[in-house]
A and B are shown apart, each in its own frame.
Chain A
Amino acid sequence: MRTLLVSFVIATTLSAQNYTFLVSEYTKETELEAKIVSNIAEASLNKSEIRLFIPEISELEERVYSNFVTLTSSCSEADFVFVKRSVDVTEYCQDMDKVYVTNNYSKLLSDQRYIGAFFWQKSRPNITFLNKRLQKKQIQLPSNYEKFVEDF
């Protein structure tokens, strides 16, 4: 009986998915964001070893992103740049050869350096690439990304 009880406690403990209290810092949303940005970078550069630069990255983002991708401390060391919505990237990067993606759709439309955006639209997360800019940079996205390409 005791063995059964101990087994039950161990089993339920190991299988716990529900949280009791959110005592530790909540990172799940940032983790998923990091996974998505890494996935976009891999698809854009067609390789798995990415060197990512995020200007004005927060301490939390730095901790979480570094579990999924190699972060660089300067733009020059990176091959992929992810620019948050209000950051002025020209303060950090002059090299137009990098691949730039933003989380601001208006920024994507108005600034030629960006090939795409990962942003929220109608309260849903969304990815968009602009076809002409992909062609200009000679980027061939994998087939599962074709639905994200806008033809202008």
Chain B
Amino acid sequence: MKKILLAVLLAPMLFSQDIDSLLDEYQETNNASLQKVDEKLGHLSIYSQADIQKMQYHKLGEILQELPHINYNLNRLGHASLSLAGTKTQLNGFIRFFINDQEISSLYTQSPFLNWGDIPLDFVESVEIYYGDSSFALGNETGIYFVRIYTKEAYKQNGGELILRYLSKGANAQSVMYADTLQNGWSYYAFANREELRDKRDYKDERLFNNEKREYLFFNIENERTDLQIGYAGVRKDSYMGLAFDVVPESGALESKNLFINTTHSFLEDKSLQAKFSVNQQERMYREENAEGLATIPIIDLENAAATIPKYFNEELRYRKLNAYLSKTFSTQNNQLFAALNFTQKKYKVLYRENTNLLGETFTPQRYNDFDKETVYSLLLQDDFFLRKDLSLIANFKLDKYERNGDLENTTETMFRIGSIYTPLDNLGFKAFYTRTYLPPTFYSVEFMNKDESTPDEKIKPQKYSLATLEGVYTLSNTKFSVIYSNVRIDDFLYMTPVGFIHVPYTVKVEGIVFDLKHQFNDAYELELSYFDNHISEIPNNAKSGGFVKMMGGYKAFSYFASLIYRESYSYMDVEADASYDLSLGLQYDYSKDITFNIKGENLLEKSTQTFYTDHSNSSYAEVFAFEDYEKRLSLSLRWKF
């Protein structure tokens, strides 16, 4: 009996794996996209290459819609905007996007959404979302939600791919990419995408247009030590509601072009010394015309409304960012010390600005204030110490020294974080962090500050975040269950009022909990349920709780998915927003190893999320109304690898 038992136990070791199954397992492991995971950065949600394929995620927005603690809505300019659950944010900065190591938020608003918020995932290997990080290891941009988008690795592609997509309302998108490894070991990857999206809605018997054309280019050349990346995103779109007092502008257009070049080189045998340099430039054009007036806050003086409210507005702006970064990691068996220096310089230039007031007079103000340059010097430190094999302690510290021109004073900000990861059993783990961080003012928030804020110093108060989080994970053979509790306190929270941004003069408190359950029935079938609930100390003007159910499966050459994303109903100033049930279904057919067909439907129940807007048609009061963010969308795709 003992011999039989021993034979059964040793059998897997005695017979080496067949080469075909090894290759299959190697590809599956690669598609699980766990190579770059860094648990120290925060509480992680990972969307692997396998998830992206099985769930047919075409655009980044489809992933962001699922995130807990967050609502994914449209803003008045008709592009996506993320808000902390329970709030409708007019100012971003708490969420940061990285394409590989390149931070891609707008230099003006800190929002990545106009250019990069809904990028196609055709060139993306995986998306890692860290809750609680604040750039303790990457550059100087602070935040509490970090979205790290990893592009496909050139040397793992070696081939071409063409994707054609036809969407409802005549919209369409095309992507083409090619990668090769050269004889000298350098690999390159080139990607191009263009898309034309169509959207029009009716508001009070008038038509709102939100059509847009987008182009994305990405080029990467790298070897084992050096990496050069060039990225470009261009968008031309209608202004949707724009700044129109009566919600429907007569005409309007928004155009933005963003280019970045980023290079990284690793030194020393163990690559522990790293240098990075990047340049990022954005040009943004905005034009709008509306006889009823435009809410351009920096121009308007309410005591002289007719002479200052514009009916026509046109501006062209340029932002430029230089970034240099040097890091070194010192490793011993139980300790890893990471140190880095970072230099960032941001410049803002008004190329053209013109407005015509309600009296028909035209003005060309070049700048609203004299703040157009910011230089930041940063020191970053992180220590990761294994107290025992199952218990690690993490400590971060960061010092940012800001030099701002104009009336704004130079400031020095610090932030820190302490945390621990404890895994007492193979299938039980805990992670906890306490973080003190801040969001600095931007060119946008300074320009759009309420004029009553008395001194320039009032305008540059950073928003201060204290964040305590605790995560527990329990796994069974094919099941993973996690709970994350968070407690956030925000001082000097920046809030948009009809007359500009104000700092809320008290502490905003948010408590939240997230439950997540994943179960793998077998290799093909998978189910995930997630639910979050937030409690906020303010009157909520957006959903506070929500969740999703999604499942994916397959049979032979067919694979399919179903997903339902839920956000609760809520009301604000006696206006009701219904609960949202965004149902998506998709089917994929693998005609061959190289040719795949997809069909997918989103928001099939036509129960989209809603956003509150204000209508100032009547000058005596502001009418709040709820408006659906998305309509039903269908898409057909062909993917050909060559």
Contact = CB atoms under 8 A, between A and B. Distances in A.
B428 interface: yes
B159 interface: yes
A131 interface: no
A144 B22 CA distance: 13
Contacts of B39: 21-23
Contacts of B518: 18
Contacts, number: 140
Contacts of A111: 183
Nearest to B473: A20
Contact of A120 (B20, B34, B158, B473): B158
Given A23-B421, A32-B29, A106-B183, A18 B157 contact: no
Given A21-B39, A85-B185, A145-B19, A16 B159 contact: no
Given A18-B476, A22-B39, A32-B26, 5 more contacts: A86-B224, A106-B181, A124-B27, A124-B593, A125-B30
A104 B183 CA distance: 7
Given A17-B478, A26-B35, A123 B156 contact: yes
Given A119-B181, A123-B152, A15 B641 contact: no
Interface residues of B, number: 56
A80 interface: no
B27 A59 contact: no
A75 to B, nearest CB: 18
Contacts of B594: 122
13 contacts: A21-B473, A22-B37, A23-B39, A29-B35, A39-B22, A58-B270, A84-B224, A85-B181, A85-B187, A86-B224, A106-B182, A106-B183, A122-B642
Contact of A85 (B30, B152, B155): B155
Given A21-B473, A125-B26, A120 B155 contact: yes
Contacts of B206: none
Which of A28, A33, A59, A85 gathers the greatest number of chain B CB atoms within 10 Å? A85
A86 B223 contact: yes
Interface string A132-152: 000000000000110000000
B522 interface: no
Which of A36, A58, A125, A145 gathers the greatest number of chain B CB atoms within 10 Å? A125
A39 B18 CA distance: 9
B425 A36 contact: no
A105 B156 CA distance: 12
Contacts of B590: none
Nearest to A120: B156
Interface in B21-49: 22-23, 25-27, 29-30, 34-35, 37, 39
Interface of A: 12-13, 15-23, 26, 28-29, 32-33, 35-36, 39-40, 43, 58-59, 84-87, 104-107, 110-111, 119-127, 144-145
B540 interface: no
Given A18-B427, A144-B18, A127 B478 contact: no
A39 B19 contact: yes
A15 to B, nearest CB: 4
B27 A125 contact: yes
A120 B594 CA distance: 15
* A-B pairs with lowest CB-CB distance, top 4: A86-B185, A20-B429, A16-B427, A122-B159
A76 to B, nearest CB: 22
B185 A104 contact: yes
B184 interface: yes
A20 B23 contact: no
A73 to B, nearest CB: 15
A59 B270 CA distance: 8
A29 B32 CA distance: 10
A123 B157 contact: yes
A16 B475 contact: yes
